[in-house]
Each structure stands twice: as C-alpha cells, then as structure tokens.
Amino acid sequence: MTSNAFLPGLREALGAPGIAMAATFLAFGAAVQEAGLSPGWAVLACWGIYGMPGQLVLVQAAGAGWTGGVGIAVLGAVAVNARFLPMAVSITPVLSARSRWRLLPAVPFIAVTPWAAAMRALPAVDRPDRVPWFLGFGLTSWMVAGFASLAGFHLAGALGPEARAGLLFVNPLYYALLLAADLDRPAPRRAVLCGAAAAALAWLLPASVALLAAGLVGGTAAFLIGRRHGAG
C-alpha cells in the first residue's frame, strides 16, 4: 500500500459525488428540523445509519413520538437499508483485500454513492491500493453527509417543501447518471432495463412493499439473465 493511496479516493469524493451527497443531506437536515428533532439527532442519525431511506424512516417515527414502537421503527430502517448486503457482497472481491480483517474498516462506508464510485474506479486501481482508496472516498462522503445534515437543519427555514423534495432526489439522480454512462456495458444495461420493466409493479402492489418488490424482481431478473448468458 502506498502512503498516499487514501488521497485519490478523498479527492474523488469531493467532486460531483460530494456535491450530490451534500444536496441530499441538506434536505435530510431540514426534514429533521421540521420533525421537531435536535441538530444532534440529525448528525447522529446520519453518521450512525448512513443510509437515507433508513434515516427517513427513523425521522418519521421519532417525529410521530414513536407511536408504533422503537422496535418497529428500527426494523423498518433495517429493511429499507437491506440493499447494503448485496452491495457488500459484490464489492468484496473488487476490494481484493488479502485478509478479511483489512475489509472491516470499509464496512461502515458501504452505501450507494461510495459503492457506485468504487465499482467504477477500483478496477483501474492497483490491488494493494483499493481498500485505502475506498476508505478515502467513504470517510470523506460520510463527513460531507454529516456536516450537510447539520447545515440543512439550520437552513431549513430557507428551504421550501419543493426545494427539500428536489434536493432529496439529487443523489439518486447522480446514481442514475452513473448507470446511464455505463449503458454500453451489458451488466448496467440489464440492470436499467430490468429495473424499468419491474417498476410497473409499483402501480399494482401496496405502497408499503411496492418499491422493495420492484427492486427485488428487477434485480433478480437482471442477475438471472446475466448468469444465463455468462455476461459481466
């Protein structure tokens, strides 16, 4: 591992990914303020969970006084952030760590933005430098998210409902653009096409399970098609 292997990941995170991350978490901080919670709650929820859907589940539950119980809220947050498991499985061989213990520091930073950036960038990075690169990117993104949440809390009065709703979609839009840039490759193309086809399920199923079911069906279909054709 080179002494500066951490720095390229840090610099990458401060570019377009950092802007998208900051915009989304500004909206999260404003949502926390609107729910009547504290700024410390915003930062701790962000840094402790580091997954926007799970954070929003807890904001909604806490803002309502935990009427359904803390356990139900926690289970809901775990369920909506369950997507991190397949991300962790898919990125593990890419990180190419000789020891599983070297992977442990990277685990807390496996989220959509670091994962997407790493899957694109790491194949071109020397294998011994991949974990440090990911740590540089992940830690920087994590810090940006926390401080943006705090800023959003204090700027909530300047952000109308439309602005907050728009900011929440900046990071998913960035992720969608990453996929679009890779449509010349079979795997991203399958993911986009199968996901778009499965999205129709969201109109047919109850709102509580529609998005999860559509993602599960679309992702499974893309995986099985890729496995059948032996494509990457």
Q: What are phi and psi of 185, to 5 degrees?
A: -100, 145
Q: Is the pTM of this model over 0.75?
A: yes
| Predicted confidence band of residue 208 (pLDDT cuts 50, 70, 90) | low
**Amino acid, res. 116:** A
Q: Find out whether 138 and 121 touch, Cβ atoms under 8 Å.
A: no
In this structure, are residues 26 and 159 in contact, taking their beta carbons and an 8 Å threshold?
yes
Q: Can you tell me the distance from the alpha carbon of 129 to that of 3, in angstroms, rounded to the nearest whole number?
A: 9
pLDDT score recorded for residue 195: 86
Angstrom distance (rounded) from CA 59 to CA 31: 8
> Is residue 92 scored above 70 in pLDDT?
yes
Rg of the chain, C-alpha, whole Å: 18
pLDDT band at 1 (very low <50, low <70, confident <90, very high): very low
d(CA 57, CA 64) in angstroms, rounded, equals 11
What is the model's pLDDT at position 157?
77
For residue 65, the one-letter residue type is G
What's the whole-number mean pLDDT along residues 104-120? 88
